[in-house]
Chains A and B, each alone.
Chain A
Amino acid sequence: MLTQIAVSLNSIANPIGQVLLAPIEWLPGWLSATLIGVVTGVLMLVVFKYTSNQSAIKRTRDQIKANMLALSLFKDDLGVSLRSQGRLLTGALRLILHALIPLAVLMIPMILILGQMSLWYQARPLRIGEESVVTVQLADESTDAVQAITLNTNDAVEVIAGPVRVSSKNMVCWKVMPIRDGQHQLEFKIGGETSLKEFVVGGAFEPTSQKRPAWDWNEVVMHPRETPFAPDSIVQSIEVTYPQRDALTAGTNNWVIYWFVISMVAAFVAKPFLNVNL
């Protein structure tokens, strides 16, 4: 059920992402990462404004201010002081409660946006001649499949080692080397069935899906681009190791941190202009 939802959401997010994030291909990494951070930060703020109870938040904030004032004015009066401190705490709690609805509304789009961004920033495409290990994970009950599965070569990729068949893990790996630029498909055959996996070569920035996922919502969220394998498929998932992208802003793993920082900064800068209470 969760997986089905994730798959449906991805089917909406993928075409939108493809259009909206297309400029990443020709912008410098730091610029596209910054732009996305700014735009999503401001959008989050706008969503927050219209999904939260702004007047209630403003009221709570005013009360907090009043209690802080009381605290500093009546430092010596233990009773007032304690009461103000209690109110401060409940005020803070209420602020958090007010943020819950907008957070809930924002959560799913945020996950989808991050999923789409990861396709661009988490890894970089292979270059011609650069080796990669491809791993096919097979279903637990299919012990013969480990021996039976084959990888068909084409004019874009060459198998240079393997397969190494790991029967204890129902896993088969090949070492491959790309020989032609482009968005290719690797073709695996088992018992008359063909399974495909995207294989991206060349280009500084291109959507690069590391894994065609299994029927598992978690994996589907992490790897949104390719259709997951059906739960009863012999082939459960196929993974290609792509190189890390070394960059502080738009590089492997770093991009998430950068996005978070930039979107927060953008939201705080935009806050007074959009007249939003946080």
Chain B
Amino acid sequence: MRDNQSEGIVSRRKLLTGAACAAVAAGVGATSYFVGGPNRVSRSLGKKVIVIGIDGMDPRLSAAMMKAGDLPNLAKMTASGGFSKLGTSIPPQSPVAWSNFINGSGPGSHGIFDFIHRHPHEHCKPYFAAAETLTPEGFVEWGDHQLQLDFWPFNHKPAKTVLRRQGVPFWDYLDAQKIDSVFYDLPSNYPPSPSQYGHHRCVSGMGTPDMLGTYGTYQYFSEDTPAAGVREGGGIRSKLRFENDSARATLIGPPDSFRKSPTPIEIEFEVHRDRQSDAVLLEIQDQKIMLQRGQWSRWTKLDFAISTPKLIPNQHASGICRFFLQEIAPNFRLYVTPINVNPSDPAVQLSEPDDFIENVSEELGLFYTTGFQEDHKARTNGVFNDDEFRRQATNVLEERLALFEYAVENYEDGLLFFYFSSSDLQSHIFWWDESDGNTQHPLISSPEAASRFQYVRDLYQRLDSIIGDINDRYSGKATIIVMSDHGFANFGRQFNLNSWLRDSGYLNPRECTNVLVNGDWSRTRAYGLGINGLYLNLKGREADGVVEPGEEQEQLLRRLKMQLESVRDVNGNQVIRNVYRSSEIYAGDATALAPDLIIGYARGYRASWETCLGELSEDTLRDNTSAWAADHCADALEVPGVLFCNKSIDKTDPSLVDVAPSILQEFGLPTPSTMTGQSIYKS
């Protein structure tokens, strides 16, 4: 994994910081020798709890594979300890589910109800629920630039990304008791929450942005892209024009943030191809990268110079990317990963403490730091085919395994949490279970679907062997929990909630294409946003609310629930298994942004792609023709996760919120009043 591309960027800042740190460290060391240093000794007293989070691991598939003898290590764990379904969150979306795990309590405590939330006062402007970037306030102008000076007397507020998850994460209780906890790639924790006593360390996972501030934007260069280029969800395509087998291309970087009107910082690079030897040379920032067809480059460091007003030296931000040469001729195709934040020199805080990830990088070199690493967007947009996606996903898994090795090698005691995303993002693309309602894949033949589903099984087996290693290594010495946040189901048919609301007369006008763009709020009583959320256009809450709170609201909710639960597909199948009233299922201080109803789809169904961002389509129900062929944003009862433990599981029907109290109990701590979950072990 170590990156060895030679590069000519001098990090003087690093040298100076290093020198200053050495001086300070020497001073602190000398002082603490006399006055007694800060007490950082762990009180874990050798107690070890290891939690392996396998996103999307499904209990049905796991049970079937164990029965067939394909998951020997998990089967062994089941025999000596326990295995159970693990109740997931409502709705069963990863950010919601992992927040349940983190707080040991439901969405009412952490305030994350969907991938997407909306600002009710700003005409329901949507934003990602887990974190939000606040717009800066105040600035001084200086030529073409504007600067936020956050010190007195200016006290400007620079743009800042804040974690929207509320409540108390369970590691705070460990931290307060001086019990060490370390988390690798924890979802729903970006920016990483601070550790008050210095006993908690964490690398942020799902939700961590790339250098462009997105969840991942690949860049793709080909000869057959339209001249104007294409911007698509998750990526940018650019056209390459070869002259004498050489071409110039431009990588789009982060915005030039000190400019009055920030434009992206661009990096020009050259592409030279040699058809005879089937190889390509890339020249970028004094680095030469040679690739053969089908080859991936190592991580390449990119230096983005952020321009500053005169007299102030330019700021630098370091990003990393990998190149994948898909084709040389006749249609040259080059994929570039999203530009990740460089873990060896992070431009934004990726870990708590912030040098944690730098220490990891010192040993492992460069690696993916964005939250979503498997590039599913490249697959669904057709930039990758199945094989290419699988190859990239395997790259990710190899990196994760190296990191896992590091995590285990550097673990002494306390809590170790490690997260695998592969099982979720590979399942979204490759899962198709014909035994699940005996349905036909909307795009491919049964044998094809079966051979792709085998990839998921292969992955389960790979993870099983890793769990076997850990069990051998820590047998009798640690409590080991293997868990997932939800399971999986086919996603063959998609339901447009907004179209249904329109057809049922709740959303107007009839020709509306997107409720956020050309909806008539004065004639709209309900709208769908996010994957499982339905909101009333409530007076006093929504900017142009029309539904009176109280009796009208109550009747409308009851009617919507009843009507939605009776929706049938053309073959007579029930589309929606349960509709939940948020007032009945959520409790806590953080319910203000909750949808009014949560739609729990039956297996095989999910919200349509369009409806999630307020769009409408002609039909309400149609086939899902995306390469993203499986999902879990259904009814929570349809897609529970898994719970394996090397100790017996005493609680019946354990659920995600029960894991945190169990971990605390293992360290001798009572279940705090902030948690609604209960320990899965007998006390």
**Interface of A toward B, CB cutoff 8 Å:** 123, 130-131, 133, 135, 161-169, 173-175, 241-244, 248, 253-254, 257-258
Contacts and interface: CB of A to CB of B under 8 A. Distances in A.
B281 A173 contact: yes
Nearest to A133: B288
Contact of B15 (A123, A242, A248): A248
Contacts of B8: 253
Contacts of B280: 164
A164 B281 contact: yes
Contact of A244 (B6, B274, B295): B6
Given A164-B279, A248-B15, A254-B15, A135 B274 contact: no
7 contacts: A133-B289, A163-B277, A165-B276, A242-B6, A248-B15, A248-B18, A254-B10
Contacts of A254: 10, 15
A165 B18 CA distance: 42
Contacts of A257: 12, 15
A241 B289 CA distance: 10
Contacts of A244: 4, 6-7
Given A161-B279, A163-B274, A257-B15, A243 B291 contact: no
The 4 closest A-B pairs by CB, nearest first: A253-B10, A164-B281, A175-B290, A243-B4
Contacts of B19: 248
A36 B554 CA distance: 83
Tell which of A135, A164, A242 has the most Cβ of chain B within 10 Å.
Answer: A164
Nearest to B244: A168
A165 B272 CA distance: 8
A133 B244 contact: no
Interface residues of B, number: 30
A130 B6 CA distance: 12
A241 B279 contact: no
B307 interface: no
Contact of B272 (A123, A161, A166, A248): A166
Interface string B14-46: 110011000000000000000000000000000
B60 to A, nearest CB: 44
A209 B1 CA distance: 26
A241 B276 CA distance: 23
Tell which of B15, B244, B273 has the most Cβ of chain A within 10 Å.
Answer: B15
A27 B628 CA distance: 57
A169 B292 CA distance: 20
B20 to A, nearest CB: 12
B246 interface: yes
Contacts of B10: 253-254
Given A243-B4, A244-B7, A162 B290 contact: yes
B281 A166 contact: yes
Contacts of A165: 274, 276
A250 to B, nearest CB: 12
A245 B290 CA distance: 21
B7 A161 contact: no
Contacts of A248: 14-15, 18-19
A248 B19 CA distance: 9
B277 A164 contact: yes
Nearest to B22: A248
A141 B504 CA distance: 77
A169 B6 CA distance: 21
